[in-house]
Amino acid sequence: MKSKKVKKVESGKIYISASFNNTLITVTDKSGNSVAWGSSGLSGFKGTRKATPFAATTSVEQVIKKAKEEMGLVEAEVYIKGPGPGRDAALRAIRAAGVKIVQIADITPMPHDGPRPRKKRRV
């Protein structure tokens, strides 16, 4: 079996996708190759508990720990996408884990008046 070649890169990018149901975290190197990833579901949370800030914090801590071991992550650019409850909690967890945040960018997709909305719901 081939041994995995481990690159030591101090700086990278952290992508956080915070939906209403889950929080996904991906750590990449500068060129965008994935190094570590995780989610609230992978951290052992199920159902509605996946959508909590605590679940986001726990999963971010696990992923950052893995990234520090594998590539020696010191500083990172953080890209946040989505409206979920794990947004702010994830940022706090990254800061608490000892990773220096160089840049924070919100890459939530915003429609420039996209397709026609659904018809109004009548109750």
Residue 107 β-bridge partners = none
Domains and CATH numbers, the chain: 11-106 (3.30.420.80)
* Spacing of C-alpha 122 from chain mean position: 37
Q: What is the pLDDT of residue 71?
A: 86
Once rounded to an integer, what is the mean pLDDT over residues 87-109? 95
123 pLDDT more than 90:
no
Task: Assign 9 a pLDDT band (cuts: 50, 70, 90).
Answer: confident
CB atoms within 10 A of CB 88: 13
Q: What is the pLDDT of residue 3?
A: 59
Tens digit of each residue's pLDDT (9 = 90 or more) over 66-92? 999 988 999 999 999 999 999 999 999
The amino acid occupying position 6 is: V
Burial class (CB within 10 angstroms; exposed 0-12, middle 13-18, buried 19+) of 68? middle
Please name the helix (run of DSSP H) or strand (run of DSSP E) that holds residue 94, with its range, or none.
helix 87-96
> Could you tell me which residue, 3 or 20, shows the higher pLDDT?
20
Q: Whole-angstrom Cα distance, residue 43 to residue 61?
A: 10
What pTM was estimated for this model as a whole?
A: 0.87
Once rounded to an integer, what is the mean pLDDT over residues 56-67? 96
Residue 26 sits at the vertex; the CA angle it makes with 20 and 32, to the nearest 5 degrees, is: 135
Average pLDDT, the chain: 92
Helical H runs in 32-114?
A: 53-71, 87-96
> Could you tell me which residue, 1 or 10, shows the higher pLDDT?
10
